[in-house]
Amino acid sequence: MTTTASATTTTTTEGQETLSPTLRTVAKRLAFWVALVVAAMAITLIGGGIARTAQVAKALEADSALPMGAKAVVEVLRDQGVTVEITDNLDDTEDALSSGDATLFFYDRDGLLTARQTERAVAAASTLVVLSPTQTVLGDLDPRIAFAGHFDGALDDDCSITAAERAKKIDVEGRLFRIVDLDEKAPATVTTGCFENDDDAFAVVRVERENGDTATVLGTESVFANETIVNEGNAALALNLLGENDSLVWYIPSSEDIDAATAPSMATLSPPWVVPVTSMLLLGGFAAALWRGRRLGPLIVENLPVVVRASETMQGRSRLYQSSSARLHALDSLRIGTIARLATACGLPRTANVDDVIATVAAVVGSDIHVIRNVLIDAEPHTDAQLVAYSDDLLELERHVARKVSPR
């Protein structure tokens, strides 16, 4: 007697057959979790990108009403009669400033301009307000201006600049500047620092040239941002600096200012160790794949039936009965087989019930019907010894019937 089951098989060195799941089965089990992980990663990346775009890309945009936008100060200036023109590339900015005197608000927020482009932007206006300048810009305006660290808090006015006097006090969160003395001859400029802290550093520096051009340097976005412009005298300082002329050009460089010919490549931006480390990782991964893979392709092409011998099935079931002390179940399994064989030996039809078999067997062997019923149905084993004894009784009864019905 054999039983079959559909599964993938492999043969061990001892000749035994073992089951292993197919690649398709494993893939089906893992598909849901892989999809869940991918979806979670996608949501995280998209959410982080949206949040970063809202917080960084819109910083001090003239038409943005977000907390870090600058729509409030721009709309107030327009209400006061100042013409505000918003530009996002250097060419349009120079065209807007060529028509007459205008104030230029210049903020290279993302550091997109080259040194040459920055020089053009600084030189384009006679009245300049530059936010968060680079060291190159500071050197062009006045070599005596240097960075002096970060500051967060309120600072009082202590200079003669009109915009600073009207503001009286401002709320600062950003970089400060220091005016240093140089051994060389001082440039032909008048440089004034305003809103000084205890370390002789300033939040605002005004540079006045002999030709009347002025440049005001700030290191904090809080003076212009929607969220913080109402703090202290921030609004007064911003409106007076930006409203000095009848026209204002609000210039924040964008990707249009990037020159594709001079833009750095990924190889230029990457540190020198990236290529060798990446190559080593790829080689290590390939070696690990060969080491752990061992075999290429699936173990077998298709599912094959597994043949299990009847004796192995019998032994497996008997061990299960033994581990759970199911003696009555084990004896009933033996009784079912014995009753079927006795019915065949006595010539009974397949429709005969157990009582018919018991009565016929009792008549054949000449025994009391209650004794036969006790052996085939009623007796319950409580110990392993009783189970073995009842099993022997079944075997002896089957042999006795075989002797009675067999011809001599």
Max Cα-Cα span within the chain: 143
Q: Using one digit for the tens of pLDDT, what is the confidence trace for 293-324?
A: 666 555 555 565 667 677 777 777 778 877 78
C-beta separation of 370 from 311 below 8 A: no
* Class of CATH domain 71-257: alpha beta
- What pLDDT, on a 0 to 100 scale, did the predictor assign at position 156? 92
Q: Using one digit for the tens of pLDDT, what is the confidence trace for 199-233?
A: 889 999 999 988 888 999 999 999 999 999 999 99
- Residue 89 pLDDT > 60: yes
* Two tokens, residue 24: 């398709």
The larger pLDDT score, comparing residue 151 to residue 275, is at 151
Report the sign of the C-alpha dihedral through residues 110, 112, 116, 121, in that order.
Answer: negative
The larger pLDDT score, comparing residue 34 to residue 167, is at 167
Only one residue has tokens 């025994």, namely: 367
Only one residue has tokens 């011998």, namely: 309
Q: Using one digit for the tens of pLDDT, what is the confidence trace for 22-61?
A: 666 666 767 777 888 888 888 877 766 555 544 444 789 9
- Residue 3 pLDDT > 50: no
247-251 and 83-87: which strand pairing? Answer: parallel
- Residue 281 pLDDT > 80: yes
Q: Using one digit for the tens of pLDDT, what is the confidence trace for 106-138?
A: 999 888 888 889 899 988 888 999 999 988 888
- Residue 404 pLDDT > 80: yes
- Residue 11 pLDDT > 70: no
- What pLDDT, on a 0 to 100 scale, did the predictor assign at position 299? 59
- What pLDDT, on a 0 to 100 scale, did the predictor assign at position 186? 56
- Residue 357 pLDDT > 70: yes
- What pLDDT, on a 0 to 100 scale, did the predictor assign at position 323? 79
Q: How far apart are CA 206 and CA 232, in angstroms?
A: 20
* Two tokens, residue 330: 């084990």
